[in-house]
Amino acid sequence: MANTIVNSKTYTGSELEKIFFRPILGGESAEELGIRILYNMPMPTVLPVVSTREDILLPVDSINHTWDVEHRTMDHREIQMERVKAENAYSASDYFSTIFETLSNKSDVNLTDLSGTDLETAETELFRKAIADSIRMNLWMGDTKNTKPTAYKSFDGILTKLYKAVGNYDCFYCDSNLTESLETKSITEVLDTYINKSSPQLRGLFKEGQVAFFVSPKIYKLYQTYLDEQFGTAIYNDIQNGRKQLMFRGFPIVEVNLQPYIISASIPADFIVFTDRRNIVLAVNTADIPGAEIRMWYNPDEMQNRQRAVFAIGCEILDYNLVGAGMDNDEEPEE
């Protein structure tokens, strides 16, 4: 069967973890997301909120007050996990060409024998990249109630949760309309407003070095253009060599590129989220989910190479008072 890959492969258990999800959710891949990632935590996954600690110093003659369990109980938030599946289907010729190109870039591969470990590695990498990209998009713009066919709707993402929490975007936009703000202010003035209007809870975490701006590509480009218009040796070097990490007043600026799919979402195309990295949590589970697996096989009836993954995933904002100006009340987000 020329130009066709017909081998089948199924990963479950420890193989599913080691071969597929650990590489996606650890190391450089995890760092690119810039948030807190949990993998195979016990379900239901419940975490304490990220916050400054209360005063534990007491007069030495206090009696039993430090052992008051109710007084010391921390606030927790449960991460809602959704059982999802990821599926891909390629025509046999397209699949063969993609895999062949991947293998041809390696000098030690026998291209006359497309089988064994090399083939398995190439197929795995193809599907792993697709899953990683889908996780990233759903993490930010997932909306279970979006009916558009091109929408990401496996689970509610961070931007959707923020909107549902306050009914508008004032919580994480320094002004009610970011576009109008940028028309009347420079990008540095807008970013400065986020810092100045931060909630007391968020300001208390500044010194820990985990607070960052998460911004859309337009905001990122505006700030980069501003830097390019400055003068000095450092700017010259930046233009020559590029910038590995943009910073504003010591806070990292992380570009969240959701283009072009964000046009099908119910959230604005441009956004700024100013929060502690540990406050945004992505959780993935393959250990406690019945039927969790990765499968890759050839369907001769349709002449397609197919891939499927089944696992559980969810994300959460642990404390809405740690986002921008924070919420004005303690109401829970709408479901």
- pLDDT tens for each residue of 26-36: 766 667 788 89
Cβ count near 53 (within 10 Å): 7
Helix (H) or strand (E) holding 297: strand 293-299
Distance of alpha carbon 295 from alpha carbon 284, whole angstroms: 18
User: What Rg do the C-alpha atoms of the chain give, in angstroms?
Assistant: 23
Distance of alpha carbon 152 from alpha carbon 134, whole angstroms: 8
Count of alpha carbons within 13 angstroms of residue 116, beta-carbon side? 8
Cβ count near 143 (within 10 Å): 24
pLDDT for 25 equals 85
pLDDT for 330 equals 45
Among candidate residues 83, 77, 47, 65, the one with its CA nearest the CA of residue 313: 83
With a cut of 70, which residues of the chain have pLDDT below it?
Answer: 1-3, 27-30, 50-56, 62-74, 105-116, 166-177, 233-236, 240, 263-266, 327-335
Report the first-to-last Cα separation within the chain, whole angstroms: 51
Residue that the structure tokens 């591969």 belong to? 109
Distance of alpha carbon 101 from alpha carbon 96, whole angstroms: 8
Listed in sequence order, the residues at least 6 apart from 49 whose beta carbon sits closer than 8 Å to its beta carbon are 74, 75, 76, 77, 279, 318, 319, 322
Distance of alpha carbon 98 from alpha carbon 108, whole angstroms: 18
The single-letter DSSP state of residue 302 is: T
Tokens standing for 304?
């397609």
pLDDT for 115 equals 53
Classify residue 226 as exposed, middle or buried by CB count within 10 Å of its CB (0-12, 13-18, 19+): middle
Among candidate residues 289, 265, 308, the one with its CA nearest the CA of residue 82: 289
pLDDT for 109 equals 55
Contact predicate 262/217, CB 8 Å: no
* DSSP-derived 3-state class of residue 4: coil
pTM of the model: 0.82
pLDDT for 52 equals 58
pLDDT for 293 equals 93
